[in-house]
């Protein structure tokens, strides 16, 4: 297993930009790398409706968590697109996995719903930190830029409501996504 990455090693966007530690930017980070290493309360999995593992980030999470994760997933009874379900994290550094099902192709309402449903679940279970992969942008073919706009918008909107979440990490896997998130996050919050 790769060494875990603690939250303390991941700066917030506010810290990176030298902005005041208030508002959304002080609760959001962009991390480039393998989501399975993140030592957060929950990592989000980009699952499908069967919630029984697969390729991409789903495969990586199941490999890192071990077979107990699939055993618990078998008990979930699937998950509708735009919804999310929670399991334990087993051998991961994260305590929980939130299995979110994004849409196949560009369907912004369903993608936004997958983000909001994941955040609702985190809040319901009293979790303080959560890391998202770029849901739907791999096998499910959502164009990365459009998906980034929806992801940032959905998280921003959700964070504006009452909640106890202390950190949301956008876990990107390549340089292109990293710059997309930097571009969409900074202007999105200049007035907060
Ligand atoms: N850490 C973080 N991000 C990753 C990792 C990783 N280890 N590996 C890949 N990514 P995808 P989807 C990024 O295809 O499009 C599965 O088979 C990747 O670069 O994993 O929602 C499921 O079982 C991309 O940006 O998820 C479903 O059937 C992003 O994760 C289906 O694929 C999402 O790509 C879900 O497709």
Q: Which of 167, 177, 182, 170 is nearest to 24 (CA)?
A: 167
Q: Is 46 in the pocket of ligand 1 (CB under 6 A)?
A: yes
Q: What is the C-alpha separation between 120 and 63, in angstroms, rounded?
A: 26
Per-residue confidence band for 47, with pLDDT thresholds at 50, 70 and 90: very high
Ligand 1 touching residue 72 (CB < 6 A): no
Cite the DSSP H helix spans in 66-174: 67-73, 108-124, 144-160
Q: What are phi and psi of 92, to 5 degrees?
A: -75, 165
What does the pLDDT look like over 114-149, one tens digit per residue? 999 999 999 999 999 999 999 999 999 999 999 999
pTM (predicted TM-score): 0.97
At 191 the pLDDT is 45
Q: What is the mean pLDDT of residues 86-109?
A: 98
**3-state DSSP assignment of residue 96:** strand
**ipTM of this complex prediction, to 2 decimal places:** 0.99
Q: Kindly state if the Cβ of 4 falls inside 6 Å of ligand 1.
A: no
């Amino acid at each position: 297993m790769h060494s875990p990455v603690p939250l303390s090693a991941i700066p917030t966007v506010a810290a990176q930009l030298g902005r005041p530690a208030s508002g959304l930017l002080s609760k959001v980070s962009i991390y480039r790398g393998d989501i399975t290493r993140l030592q957060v309360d929950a990592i989000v999995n980009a699952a499908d409706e069967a919630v029984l593992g697969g390729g991409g980030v789903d495969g990586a999470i199941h490999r890192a968590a071990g077979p107990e994760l699939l055993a618990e997933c078998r008990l979930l009874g699937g998950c509708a697109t735009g919804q999310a379900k929670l399991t334990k994290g087993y051998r991961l550094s994260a305590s929980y996995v939130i299995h979110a099902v994004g849409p196949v192709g560009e369907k912004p309402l369903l993608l936004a719903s997958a983000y909001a449903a994941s955040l609702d679940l985190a809040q319901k279970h009293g979790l303080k930190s959560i890391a998202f992969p770029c849901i739907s942008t791999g096998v499910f073919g959502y164009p990365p830029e459009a998906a980034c706009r929806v992801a940032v918008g959905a998280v921003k909107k959700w964070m504006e409501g009452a909640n106890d979440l202390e950190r949301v990490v956008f876990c990107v896997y390549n340089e292109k996504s990293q710059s997309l998130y930097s571009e969409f996050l900074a202007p999105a919050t200049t007035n907060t």
